[in-house]
């Protein structure tokens, strides 16, 4: 994965499908929902050496979000809704099924 930093913006460019799925899972967790403020915090005291790993913690996640970091994709075009607030969204085949209000949206 390629990473660049410019001022207050971090750009991550996935180079494999697995990296894309992992980045999508993180992105979905950080999207504000249910009035929660979310963030990403470093766990290490210093940046890693070359070949080392940097670890971060996702802050502000609901218990449901913490327990389900997997990515699920729509098998075909479909409409999903939030079981809590009722928000709906149309998905194309292969799009990631998003979370809303701390829960994964469900097929309508």
pTM over 0.75: no
Q: What is the pLDDT of residues 49-102, one digit of tens each?
A: 877 788 888 888 777 677 765 668 888 999 999 888 899 999 998 888 888 887
Number of domains in the chain: 1
The pLDDT value given to residue 80:
94
Residues forming beta bridges with residue 60, ordered by sequence position = none
What confidence category does residue 40 fall into, taking pLDDT thresholds of 50, 70 and 90? Answer: confident
The answer to whether 95 and 55 have CB atoms below 8 angstroms apart is no
Q: Which of 29-33, 34-38, 93-97, 99-103 has the highest mean pLDDT?
A: 93-97
Which domain range does residue 6 map to? Answer: 2-107
């Amino acid at each position: 994965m390629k990473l660049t930093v410019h001022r207050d913006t971090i750009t991550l460019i996935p180079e494999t499908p697995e990296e894309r799925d992992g980045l999508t899972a993180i992105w979905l967790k950080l999207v504000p929902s249910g009035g929660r403020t979310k963030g990403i915090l470093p766990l290490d005291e210093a940046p890693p050496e070359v070949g080392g790993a940097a670890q971060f913690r996702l802050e502000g996640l609901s218990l449901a979000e913490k327990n389900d970091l997997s990515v699920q994709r729509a098998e075909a075009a479909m409409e999903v809704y939030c079981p809590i607030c009722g928000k709906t969204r149309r998905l194309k085949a292969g799009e990631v099924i998003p979370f809303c209000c701390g829960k994964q949206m469900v097929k309508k």
